[in-house]
Chains A and B, each alone.
Chain A
Amino acid sequence: DTAVSQTPKYLVTQMGNDKSIKCEQNLGHDTMYWYKQDSKKFLKIMFSYNNKELIINETVPNRFSPKSPDKAHLNLHINSLELGDSAVYFCASSEGDSPLHFGNGTRLTVT
């Protein structure tokens, strides 16, 4: 069983569209994250949720809105997509002091 799974794996869309990426973890972890990896492989945290509550919200445009229906799920909705949003988005989870467990990523391409 995949510990942290995200869908879709690839997402190609046009500027101005709205899209969502879903993430689920079956590890029983309390905390989930969204990271963005740009074309230079630089990895930066976007959001962190602990037990469905937002605890980290880095400097991210408000077009990005995370939603956590329960502690096993953290979805990312993006409005009015822009070219600069093209990247690989990773979901991750952790519990207490455990290291991060990452999903396999969603490659978003905005044309």
Chain B
Amino acid sequence: EPEVTQTPSHQVTQMGQEVILRCVPISNHLYFYWYRQILGQKVEFLVSFYNNEISEKSEIFDDQFSVERPDGSNFTLKIRSTKLEDSAMYFCASDPGGYSGNTIYFGEGSWLTVV
């Protein structure tokens, strides 16, 4: 069965550094998402991406965050200048859309630790 893949599985970075988290969504899916989960807290929606643009974003997704689908297969989340509070598990997800919309497939997550 096709899966969403994410790299790296774990990254440690210094505060203020830029981080790029990478994802390969399931091919032929149309919607792409990033979620995060701070340790001990709820899974939170960050952003949705459709037709090469952001379709919705949460309050968490401020100017420090950006997403890109540079080559038609990868989907990246960039954090420009990381803060301690960005430490979390980041989940990428994709969705076929259409009649099967909201059938969301998650990746295994990228654990980001900011020190």
A, B bound: no
